[in-house]
Amino acid sequence: MGSPDVTPASPADSEESRRYNRIRLWLGIADFVLGFVFLVALLATSWSASLRDLAYRGSFQHYSIAVFFYVFLLLVIAKLLGSALDYYGFRVEHQFQMSNQTMRSWLWDEAKGFLLALVMATIVTELLYFIIRQFPEYWWLITWATFMVLFIGLAQIAPVILFPIFYKFEPLDNEDLKQRLVRLSERAGTRVRGVYKWNLSEKSKKANAALTGLGSTRRIILADTLLDNYSADEIEAVLAHELGHHVHGHILKSIGVQAGITLFGFWAANAVLHYAIDKQHMFETLSDFANLPLLVLVSTILSFLLMPALNAYSRFNERQADRYAFRSISTVEPFISSMNKLADQNLAERAPSRWVEWFFHSHPAISKRVEAAKSWEQKPATTHA
């Protein structure tokens, strides 16, 4: 679909950027469909049960070791099935000159990513079936509470333990920028624990920035690709936006929203599991871990159905952070120029088709963000509060 709502303020999207985003969209859809078909196939055939039996044999009938083998087998098969798409994704980034990453470094990242997924999936699944065996009636509630604690812990350690597995970070050494951040923070009546330079350039040509962590690990990260190519005013505008997320407590609010959805998800998973066991006789017991694909399927379907709502919520937060930025910087010009630079550098579509934005995008279209900045500037100052 075309993009009839491109404003004259933003340059029109190039054919290249439209093609790049179309390919990435279809890659994402293909990846989702593949995962979905894999889960359905595991359940509709006897494959999940065969894998469980294999895991039992490999572990000499030890339940917890069998759970680990089963998770390991599932992840290996899923990785192999998805490897062609993963490789194609890597090629596309190079084809559009978005990536600097060598094949070797990419393969290393893939290996690390797989190991990390295996560790996390093992912890989560072992806990899940342990709780199911101990508390068959209220397993869903107890698992939910346990996972929320894990999730909050993960958000806390992510910037110091998980991200450094893939990228190098160092404290920002630019005095001028630090001073600007201190001034911005003081105006916000808050304190950000640190600003870090994110060495993104060794792998990517894109620029990015984010607010990450919780509590003592909460920090703003700025890609070196941004620090090196944007003016101090533009970086300040980006910082102000990230600070807006902080001031509005977006990380905690998002965790709260996730907690509500996850609670509903576990309740639904329990209902579906009982239906599969009592009515369909697909599994003998709750603790038969061959039912894991069914639990994953419930969460996959739920995430898919909720994607537009969650993205709408995220876009709401992004607009709020943008308005915070408009208030905190002296003029919106650097915000607008940083948006346009980001669109060019990341080959982002300034005006994606409406349904793509509605369903898939966590950020408002850049053309809309620029438009909002312009109308902000035109409003009389008294209405800005």
Nearer to Zn ion, 247 or 321 (CB): 321
Nearer to Zn ion, 146 or 314 (CB): 314
Nearer to Zn ion, 131 or 226 (CB): 226
Q: What single string gives the DSSP state of each residue in 121-143?
A: HHHHHHHHHHHHHH-TTTHHHHH
Which residue, among 228, 155, 176, 218, has the nearest Cα to 197 in the 3D structure? 228
> What is the nearest approach in angstroms of Zn ion to the Cβ of residue 318?
5
Q: What single string gives the DSSP state of each residue in 159-197?
A: IIIIGGGTS-EEE---HHHHHHHHHHHHHHT---S-EEE
Using CB under 5 A as the binding criterion, the count of chain residues that bind Zn ion stands at: 2
Residues 156-215 that bind Zn ion (CB under 5 A): none
Nearer to Zn ion, 165 or 252 (CB): 252
Under 8 Å between Cβ of 47 and 53: no
> Which residue is it, tokens 């990228």?
167
H-state helical runs in 210-365: 224-227, 232-247, 250-274, 292-328, 333-346, 354-360
* Secondary structure class of 383 (helix, strand, coil): helix
Under 8 Å between Cβ of 9 and 370: yes
> What is the nearest approach in angstroms of Zn ion to the Cβ of residue 242?
7
Which region among 26-34, 149-157, 320-328, 375-383 touches Zn ion (by CB under 5 A)? 320-328
Which residue, among 317, 371, 316, has the nearest Cα to 339 in the 3D structure? 371
Nearer to Zn ion, 66 or 329 (CB): 329
> What is the nearest approach in angstroms of Zn ion to the Cβ of residue 160?
21
> What is the nearest approach in angstroms of Zn ion to the Cβ of residue 249?
13
The amino acid present at 121, given as its one-letter code, is A
**In the stretch 355-374, what mask flags binding to Zn ion with x, by CB under 5 A?**
--------------------
d(C-alpha 126, C-alpha 120), whole Å:
10
Which region among 138-146, 170-178, 314-322, 369-377 touches Zn ion (by CB under 5 A)? 314-322
Residues 324-343 that bind Zn ion (CB under 5 A): none
Residues 44-73 that bind Zn ion (CB under 5 A): none
Count CB-CB contacts under 10 A for residue 183.
12
> What is the nearest approach in angstroms of Zn ion to the Cβ of residue 335?
12
Nearer to Zn ion, 318 or 357 (CB): 318
Helix (H) or strand (E) holding 212: strand 209-212
Which region among 69-77, 177-185, 311-319, 348-356 touches Zn ion (by CB under 5 A)? 311-319
Give strand pairing partners of 198. 169, 223
> What is the nearest approach in angstroms of Zn ion to the Cβ of residue 188?
15
> What is the nearest approach in angstroms of Zn ion to the Cβ of residue 311?
13
The amino acid present at 376, given as its one-letter code, is W
Which region among 30-38, 111-119, 276-284, 319-327 touches Zn ion (by CB under 5 A)? 319-327
Nearer to Zn ion, 105 or 337 (CB): 337
Nearer to Zn ion, 321 or 351 (CB): 321
> What is the nearest approach in angstroms of Zn ion to the Cβ of residue 362?
9
Give the binding site for Zn ion (CB under 5 A).
318, 321
